[in-house]
Amino acid sequence: MTYAILLFFSITDFSMGKSLFKSSTRTADKFYVYRTLEKVFGESNKSILVKNILNSPELFGGGCLPYNVSMKSEKFDLSDENFEDRCFNNITEIGSPAFVEMSVIRQVKTENTCNEILKDTKNIRHALALVSLSESSPIDLKSVKRTTNLFFYKKKQRETYSKIIVNNQIKTWRDVLLVLCKSPEWQIL
Amino acid sequence: MKIKILLSLFLICISLLSFKSGKKYYLLNEYITESSQEFQNFHRVINLRCANCHSDYTFYTEEDWIEQKFIVPGNPYDSKLFSSLRSSHTGGDEDMPPFLALSEVELETIKKYISGLKSKGTILEIDISFPKIDFPSTEKLSETEVFERCFIQLTGERIAQNSKLFREVENGTTTPAKACYQILKEAKFKNRDFNYSNESLSIKTRDQLHRFHTSWIKDYAYYRSGSTYLSHDIFPMDEAALHLTNVLWNGKHYSELLNSKDTLRPIRSARSKNKIHLFFEGREDFNKLKKSVLGNENIKGKTFPWNPKWLPRGHLVNIEAKKSFQSVQYYVNRDTNVTMYNDGLILDKGLHGANGSQSYILNNIGRDPGEKSNGGLVIPRTWAKKVLQDFMCRKLPVIKVEDALSYVQKNSTIKFRAKSSCMQCHTTIDPMSGAIRHSQVVYTNTTGRTSIHVKFHKETMRSLNDLFPDRDDKFYLRPTKGRFIYRTIMGKLINKEFSSLEDLNKIITSTDDYYTCAASKYFYYMTGISVELENIKQSYGDIDDNSKYLIGEVIALGKKLKAHGDVKQLIRDIIKMEIYKQDNFGDL
């Protein structure tokens, strides 16, 4: 054992050198997450998405553009012009990072959002209609692949998730959409 | 048993040797070429007698010795190096190295080398090269995937798969880089000629990149920003980012970011009129504030009604040069022990370029309201530090200790000016801050319902030659002169005098580093890979190959940007890179 350790030290190259870069996972920002979920599940989910996603730049990244917003009164309203660009917590959010690494809290927020949205069958119908499916459509590989396209732009991820869903015999479209919505990969570029 | 002990000792020796030798040996053998016998002899003495404490000397080129004023070619007695070595008993400045002076032969070698130096040709040279990486083809994304990736990054949403541009990428008529470049081109201000995009998508694209620009500049907290809320309605808190956005969408050369003479005016479009102060948008329980006043609210009769004009709200549709400015007659220096002035203050005019805007100076000046620069303890040095961070991507120190030696103020009453380790940073930032020495932070009134501004004092005093005065109460009234003392990423020392912020910005924008920094910022935005920029000539032998590759790539991008000046083209060049086309950006 002693020789093995000594040999390890003797052959290890200590001159690997210092690193002058840091590689972060290039995630999508809060606007992309917000717009994707709004597009897939419908505009009626705006308030859920504002509360969980737009309100959390520290988790999802993407700052704010307060000068874009035109407010009618001191009370924030979803009908205020360009309300999405508001600094929801503090004006200094204007300098928030353009993107933020994946984190457990971000994942929990995403999962809660997906659970809340998919409680409503109207939202399930909205998502399926985008890929010409309905709740009565069979859950087969071909149909599942179409739904994966709602979230993933990379073929490899579409295929992986299609197989996982079909092989695990997921029974309802609600569960299929939950798996896709909660998967962290669609938020990674 | 004996064999075991011997074997152990042998292996320990090998492991220690491999640890001890490493980079320095590698560097000398691989990258240093020697061509002059005199230099070799000189270098041997330096390595043997000086490098234990001054390890950097090992890598000094002949140019370095001369540039840093250690050697005056042809004149050993005027050379600081020789003077430090020849001992104080014989008229030298110091007794280096301590404890064991150089032998006569060694001293003669140094003297002979310096005496023989007539020309400035580089004899000892570090050959810096940047390796390439072959990325696996299995991890390469398809053309449509690369296009989707850049489209999301630039617009914040996915492209419709039945769109004209997506189909062109799919059938190979165009490339992802060209397609995304097209989206960028059509997002310019006031565009009416849409082939692939539309007004709504262009607004999203401009907003997406403006948000990135605001994150680039980062710090946005004015002094007591809650009390000075009104400032946000008078001049844009994101003006430095507006300069970046202006360069991008108004087709300016990237150098214009710092070379623009203009204070910028954002043109915005909204359907409804905004009624709320910008700062309070986040507060549901906000009560409407009283009308604004100027002056000293601590003394009766010293306030004056005032109705400042608010900035426009709505989507950014253009950025123009501001032609007219708001001003007030009365203003105060602070909220206690107040002095009220009635000589007029322009509220929303900046100096030169992004780093001279009101909001950039206020966010980074690092001085309390009322303070006037005195050249010693009170100068806007944090602004200088931030300029280096934001526009050169460099952390302090940006020079070598040796560069700072001649600026150490041994008799200074300011402690950090007397220490060479402190002066490694202060040699750069103190003289650099001279460019905005005439800036003073002031309020429009004394209480918590005020705005904060920069007053730029007029130059009324003559210039002094002292670069590091301990205290000069008229410092803020003297010409905005200074020196830019900076060592580039490639190790070249810049030591130039400037006479104004405009002049300083011209020096900055003439360097390659300024463009390399921009390239590394956009490269980070597009890939998530943050490349740290430092003097790589000094550390080249210590850096790993992946870092060398990445530094080489951002330097190459920066060189192109310096030539064409077009940020859209820079983004296009990044999308064209092999690393960008990799799933997970190459997993470096």
| Surface of B (294-323) touching A: CB under 8 A | 311-316
For residues A109-123, b (16+ Cβ closer than 10 Å) or e, as one string? bbeebbeebbebeeb
Residue pointed to by tokens 């062109």:
B168
Kindly state whether B413 is in contact with chain A, defined as any CB-CB distance less than 8 angstroms: no
Whether A88 sits inside 8 A of B286 (CB atoms) is no
Per-domain residue ranges of chain A? 25-117, 133-189
Residue A133 near residue A142, CB atoms below 8 Å: no
| CB pair distance less than 8 Å for B208 and A71 | no
Q: Report pLDDT digits (tens) over A127-156.
A: 999 999 999 999 999 999 999 999 999 999
What string of H, E and C letters represents the secondary structure of B259-315? HCCCCEEEEEECCCCCCCCHHHHHCCCCCCCCCCEEECCCCCCCEEECCCCCCCCCE
Token pair in block for residue A94: 């204007």
Interface check for B284 against chain A (CB to CB < 8 A): the answer is yes
Of B7, B316, B530, the CB nearest to A21: B530
> Which neighbouring-strand residues pair with B482?
B498
Q: What percent of chain A has pLDDT over 70?
A: 90
Run means of pLDDT, 10 residues per run, chain B, 588 residues: 60 46 26 59 88 82 78 82 79 78 89 74 59 93 98 97 97 98 97 94 97 93 81 95 97 97 95 83 53 84 89 96 96 89 95 96 94 97 98 97 92 94 96 98 87 96 94 97 96 96 98 98 98 90 93 96 98 98 94
Contact B282 A21 (CB under 8 A): no
Two structure tokens written together for B379: 């100068």
Residues of A in contact with B534 (CB under 8 A): 20
A2 to chain B: which residues are within 8 Å by CB? 8
Please report, as a single letter, which amino acid is at residue B141: L
Out of A21, A82, A98, name the one closest to residue B531 (CB): A21
* Residues in Cβ contact with A20 at an 8 Å cutoff, skipping those fewer than 6 apart: B531, B532, B533, B534, B536, B539, B543, B544, B547, B550, B551
Would an 8 Å CB–CB cutoff place B282 in contact with chain A? yes
How far apart CA A113 and CA A40 sit, in angstroms, is 13
Position of tokens 């070619």? B73
Rounded-to-integer distance, Cα B433 and Cα B415, Å:
19
A18 with B547: Cβ contact below 8 A: yes
Instruction: Scan for tokens 């005199």, then name that residue.
Output: B38
Decide if B276 touches A, using CB distance below 8 A.
yes
User: Which residues in chain A have their CB less than 8 angstroms from residue B18's CB?
Assistant: 9-14
Residues B339/B377, Cβ–Cβ less than 8 Å: no
CB contact under 8 A, B236 and A7: no
Taking a C-beta distance cutoff of 8 angstroms, is the pair B245, B207 a contact?
Answer: no
Return the structure tokens found at A50.
Answer: 């504002």
Pairing of strands B493-498, B482-487: antiparallel
- For residue A30, the chain B residue with the least C-alpha distance is B156
Please, are residues B472 and B374 in contact by the beta-carbon 8 Å criterion? yes
pLDDT value at residue B30: 29
CA of B463 vs chain A CAs: smallest distance (Å): 38
How many beta-carbon pairs under 8 angstroms link A with B? 209
Decide if B529 and A23 are in contact by the 8 Å CB cutoff: yes
Between CA B226 and CA B223 the distance in angstroms is 9
Q: What is the ipTM of this complex?
A: 0.92
Residue A117 Cα, gap to closest chain B Cα (Å): 20
| In contact, B446 and B298? CB cutoff 8 Å | yes
Q: Do residues B225 and B237 make contact, with C-beta atoms less than 8 angstroms apart?
A: no
Q: State pTM to two decimals.
A: 0.84
Q: Report how far Cα B155 is from the mean position of its chain's Cα atoms.
A: 27
Q: Using CA atoms, how far apart are residues B190 and B25, in angstroms rounded to an integer?
A: 59
Asked if B39 and B123 count as a contact pair (C-beta separation under 8 A), the reply is: yes
Query: CA end-to-end span of chain B, whole Å?
Result: 46
**A3–chain B nearest CA distance, Å:** 7
Per-residue pLDDT of A70-120, as tens digits, reads 887 767 777 788 999 999 988 889 999 999 999 999 999 999 999 999 999
Interface test with A, best of B140, B264, B281, B359 (most A CBs within 10 A): B281
Shortest CA distance from A27: residue in chain B: B528
**Spatial CA neighbour of B577 closest among B176, B253, B131:** B176
CA neighbor of B395 nearest in space, from B354, B425, B433 = B425
Q: What's residue B60's pLDDT? A: 80
Cα atoms found within 13 Å of the Cα of residue A125, Cβ hemisphere only: 4
Cβ proximity of B454 and B358 under 8 Å = yes
- Rounded to a whole number of angstroms, the distance from the CA of B350 to the nearest CA of chain A is 19
Residues of chain A neighbouring B531 (CB-CB closer than 8 A)? 20-21
Using the Cβ of B237 and the Cβ atoms of chain A, whether some distance falls under 8 Å is answered with yes
- Which two structure tokens, joined as six digits, stand for B440? 């003073």
Terminal CA-CA length for chain A: 45
CA-CA distance, A49 to A55, in Å (whole number)?
8
Q: Which of B208, B185, B59, B76 is nearest to B128 (CA)?
A: B59
Choosing among B158, B452, B547, which should be mutated to test the A contact, i.e. which has the most A CBs within 10 A? B158
Q: What is the pLDDT of residue B24?
A: 25
Q: Is A95's CB within 8 Å of B539's CB?
A: no
List all residues of chain B from 363 to 382 with a beta carbon under 8 Å from chain A.
none
